[in-house]
Structure formats: C-alpha cells, structure tokens
Amino acid sequence: MNPIEEIEKLKEEKNAVILAHYYVDGEVQAIADYVGDSYYLSKLATTLSAPNIIFCGVKFMGESAKILNPQKTVVMADEYADCPMAHMVEIDTIETIRRENPDVCVVCYVNSTAEIKAHSDVCVTSSNAIRIVKALPNKKIFFIPDNNLGRYVASQVPEKEFIFHDGFCHVHKSIEKDSILEARKAHPEALVLTHPECTEDVLAISDFIGSTSEIIDFATASDKNTFIICTEMGIFYELGQKNPDKKFYSVGHRQFCPNMKKITLDKVLTALQNLTPEVILSEDLSLKANKPLSRMLELAK
Ligand code: 13P
Ligand code: SF4
C-alpha cells in the first residue's frame, strides 16, 4: 500500500478527519477531508462528528480546533509547525494597555497562542476582522499582534480608534512592492490579489485584498484570466484545481512559510497511526481562550 492508500484506510479505522490549511503542500491538501482558511477551519471544527481530528497546519490552528471542541482528540501532523507571529505579544503589554485604556477592546488575530487569546476580548481572522470590529460596541480597539492587518482593518473602519501592535508575518512582509510592479510589467493584464498581512504599500497597489479563501473565490468568480498572487505559495494548488485554464503568477521565491511546509504525507500517516502528538490544554486555559473564539463565531454569523 502506498502512503495515500494507508492514510485512507486509517482514516476509516480510526474514525478521523483530516483538516488542512491552504498553505500546506498540495499533496497534503489532496488527501484532506476539508481544506480552508483559518475562519472556515475553526468554524468547521465545531460541526464535525468524528472524534479524532488530524490538523495539517500550524499550532494556533490546532489549538483553536481543540479549544472549540474540548471533547475531541486534536492531533497535529507536526507539533513543531508553529507561526512565529502567534508569539509576538507579551501578556504584560495587553494588561498595560487595558490599565491605560479601561474602555478598550482587545481584538486578537487568531494567529496567536491560546494564552494570548485567553487575555483578549474577541478573536478575528483575516476574513471576518472588518465585520467584527465594526460590530463591537467599543470605540477603542487594541489590535494584536499583526500591525499590517490591524492598519488595513483600521482603514476600513474609520469610525473607530486603534492602538496597534508591532507583530508581523515574515512571509507576507517579504513580499515587496517592487517585485509586484515588475510582475505587473511582465503581465500587464493581470489582477493583483493580496493577503492583508502584506505591508501597506503592497495593499495600496493591489486590485483585491482578502483571506486565502477570499482570494481563491475572487479568482474563481472573475472573468479575468491572469492573476499575480501575493500570499503564501501553497494557495497555488487550490487556485489551479479550481481554475485549470487561468494563469497565476508569484512575485518571487520568498512566498514560502517554512512552518506550513513542515507538514508531509509521512507525518500525516504517523499522526494517524499513533493519534499523537495531541493538542493538550489545561481546562482553565481552554475555557478562557474559548470566550473570544466563541464570540468571534457569534459576531461573524
Ligand atoms: P487565512 O485566514 O487567510 O487562511 O490566513 C492564515 C494565515 O496564516 C495567513 O498567513
Ligand atoms: Fe504565520 Fe505567516 Fe506562516 Fe501564516 S504565513 S502561518 S502568518 S508565518
């Protein structure tokens, strides 16, 4: 049996489902039962009946699935696949901002550890952040940790006051305006589709800004045929699957998240065989981190 056949067989035997993010390798996306953006994957986790979830993505995603489904076993395909941005806020910083701004709402991008979520008021993902921030009763927002996403949301919600943090995604930060201008010169007919974790100057020259699934949906619905894609390269798999006749161009070799790329078919197979490494969180942390995540699901409806 090859690894793909073994994975299929074990999924049945172990009553497990495989969830994957669009940034993992295409061959891993191909064997997953569900593939999506961060919002879809956290929402979906609450609706699954299988007791075992194998998560192909970075740690904060598996943690969110576990926090929203404490009774399920959530297994990381690779326990060391971790998003550096998820660690970019100190709890002390949140507490200081709260003391100085008693009316502030701490809005936590879901790319954060469970501990940081537990100290926040509401979570957001890139696909629902604008909607949720608009819906909050507070005027003052402390947006953590991503500075670029925070500034983008602020530009779309001018009626609110923002305090920003200085977190960033190294992958999206490395996508440069000049590389996009060069790609545009080579493909003048192309539309530029960009993730909001990119820097302000990149967003300013983009034709569309959205989460990974919003980028895929936009390209799929568009009557245009050529696109320059400004986000992690794993997305090219689903773009190609849904649009075999359209052309998608990258803007250089740095659109690569080394953590997402830790997930391989062999690791998925081992995770299924052993149902480890499991995401384990204390009950107290899980309950505290559940509040902002559940509030996100409620407000995003
Ligand atoms: P999405 O929510 O758009 O899938 O983004 C997740 C992520 O990690 C972006 O870098
Ligand atoms: Fe984190 Fe960036 Fe990788 Fe997304 S692409 S998981 S934000 S490092």
Q: What is the pLDDT of residues 270-299, one digit of tens each?
A: 999 999 999 999 999 999 999 999 999 999
DSSP string, 72-133: SEEEES-TT---GGGG---HHHHHHHHHH-TT-EEEEESSS-HHHHHT-SEEE-TTTHHHHH
Report the pLDDT value the prediction gives residue 218, as an integer from 0 to 100: 98
Same domain, 159 and 295: yes
pLDDT-derived band of residue 45, with 50, 70 and 90 as boundaries? Answer: confident
Mean of the per-residue pLDDT values of the chain: 97
Same domain, 219 and 186: yes
CB 74 within 8 A of CB 279: yes
Report the pLDDT value the prediction gives residue 19, as an integer from 0 to 100: 98
Same domain, 118 and 153: yes
Assigned domain for 205 exists:
yes
| 35, two tokens | 């593939």
Report the pLDDT value the prediction gives residue 1, as an integer from 0 to 100: 86
Same domain, 20 and 49: yes
181-194 pLDDT, tens digit each: 999 999 999 999 99
Assigned domain for 196 exists:
yes
pLDDT-derived band of residue 250, with 50, 70 and 90 as boundaries? Answer: very high
Report the pLDDT value the prediction gives residue 28, as an integer from 0 to 100: 98
**Residue 50: exposure state from Cβ atoms within 10 A (0-12, 13-18, ≥19):** middle
Residues in the chain: 301
Ligand with the closest atom to the CA of 217: 1
Same domain, 274 and 203: no
- Tell whether ligand 1 has an atom less than 6 A from the beta carbon of residue 194: no
Q: What is the best residue among 55, 89, 259, 263 to mutate for testing ligand 2's pocket, by most ligand atoms within 8 Å of CB?
A: 259
Report the pLDDT value the prediction gives residue 23, as an integer from 0 to 100: 98
Same domain, 127 and 53: no
Q: Tell me how many domains the chain contains.
A: 3
Domain that holds residue 184: 175-249
Same domain, 241 and 104: no
Assigned domain for 102 exists:
yes
Same domain, 97 and 228: no
| 148, two tokens | 């670029």
Distances (CA, A) of 114 to 173, 177, 197, 282: 24, 33, 20, 10
Report the pLDDT value the prediction gives residue 46, as an integer from 0 to 100: 84
Assigned domain for 206 exists:
yes
Assigned domain for 217 exists:
yes
- 22-26, 168-172, 226-230, 252-256: range with lowest mean pLDDT: 252-256
Q: What is the pTM of this model?
A: 0.96
What percent of the chain has pLDDT above 90?
97
Q: Is the pLDDT of residue 238 over 90?
A: yes
Same domain, 199 and 155: no
Residues 161 and 13: their CA atoms lie apart, in Å, by 52
Q: What is the mean pLDDT of residues 225-251?
A: 98
Same domain, 182 and 146: no
Q: Is the pLDDT of residue 301 over 90?
A: no
Residues 187 and 238: their CA atoms lie apart, in Å, by 21
56-109 pLDDT, tens digit each: 999 999 999 999 999 999 999 999 999 999 999 999 999 999 999 999 999 999
Ligand 1 atom with the smallest distance to the CA of 171 is 10
Strand order in the sheet with 73-76: 34-36, 16-21, 52-56, 73-76
Same domain, 138 and 78: no
Assigned domain for 254 exists:
no
Q: What is the CATH number of the domain that holds 153?
A: 3.40.50.10800
- Tell whether ligand 1 has an atom less than 6 A from the beta carbon of residue 125: yes
Q: What is the mean pLDDT of residues 16-27?
A: 98
Sign of the Cα pseudo-torsion (133, 231, 218, 181, in order)? positive
Report the pLDDT value the prediction gives residue 183, as an integer from 0 to 100: 97
Report the pLDDT value the prediction gives residue 25, as an integer from 0 to 100: 98
Q: Is the pLDDT of residue 253 over 80?
A: no
- Tell whether ligand 2 has an atom less than 6 A from the beta carbon of residue 58: yes
Assigned domain for 28 exists:
yes
Report the pLDDT value the prediction gives residue 43, as an integer from 0 to 100: 87
Same domain, 192 and 209: yes
Report the pLDDT value the prediction gives residue 254, as an integer from 0 to 100: 80
DSSP string, the chain: --HHHHHHHHHHHHTEEEEEETTS-HHHHHH-SEEE-HHHHHHHHTT---SEEEEES-HHHHHHHHHH-TTSEEEES-TT---GGGG---HHHHHHHHHH-TT-EEEEESSS-HHHHHT-SEEE-TTTHHHHHHH-S-SEEEEESBHHHHHHHHHH-TTSEEEE--B--HHHHT--HHHHHHHHHH-TTPEEEE-TTS-HHHHHT-SEE--HHHHHHHHHH-S--EEEEES-TTHHHHHHHH-TTSEEE-S-TT---TTGGG--HHHHHHHHHH--SBP---HHHHHHHHHHHHHHHHHT-
pLDDT-derived band of residue 252, with 50, 70 and 90 as boundaries? Answer: confident
Report the pLDDT value the prediction gives residue 230, as an integer from 0 to 100: 98
CB 232 within 8 A of CB 256: yes
User: Ligand 1 centre from 126 Cα, in Å?
Assistant: 7
- Tell whether ligand 2 has an atom less than 6 A from the beta carbon of residue 28: no
